[in-house]
Amino acid sequence: MTHQVVIALGSNLGDSAAILVEAIAEIAQSVTALRASSFYQTHPVGGPSQPDYLNAVIVGETELAPEELLAAMQVIENRHGRVRTERWGARTLDIDLIDYASAHWESAALTLPHPRAHERAFVLLPWSEVDPDAILIGHGAVNSLISTMDISGVVRR
């Protein structure tokens, strides 16, 4: 049985565009019927001073359980040099599971939907590009959430 998933990607170290393209290709080994957004340049949220991010969202189908998909995404992050030393610090690749079958999930490793997705234009704008009718469970229509945000610092590339 397959489940629809929403995955957000970001990078602000190295050749971010190339890293995102490679990561999306690697994710496609676990996620089928993949639809990828354009890239969006965004300012960092929280953390130390750092370069802007390049972000994207993909929507697709997977047979993996939520924590299996999370583990697969962490392998991809590590392969691209992800180092987890500073919360909200700069990174070569960040991959977040945003939504899994519009279900709630709570474990030590994973909370779904992503607990801050509803606050993040760098997730919602690319998501609405690939799925204009998207609903973020517990928060409503993605396009309605976007309409309440300041998106002036988000640039589609």
Active site residues: 82, 91, 94, 96
Tokens representing residue 117 in the block: 């997705």
Task: Identify the burial level of 113 via C-beta atoms within 10 angstroms of its C-beta, where 0-12 means exposed, 13-18 middle and 19 or more buried.
Answer: buried
**In 3-state terms, what secondary structure has residue 26?**
helix
Q: Comparing C-alpha atoms, which of 110, 112, 141, 119 is closest to residue 128? A: 141
- 53's enclosing H/E stretch is strand 53-62
For residues 66 and 105, the answer to whether their CB atoms sit within 8 Å is yes
Task: Identify the burial level of 61 via C-beta atoms within 10 angstroms of its C-beta, where 0-12 means exposed, 13-18 middle and 19 or more buried.
Answer: middle
- DSSP code at position 49: S
Residue position matching structure tokens 């602000």 = 12
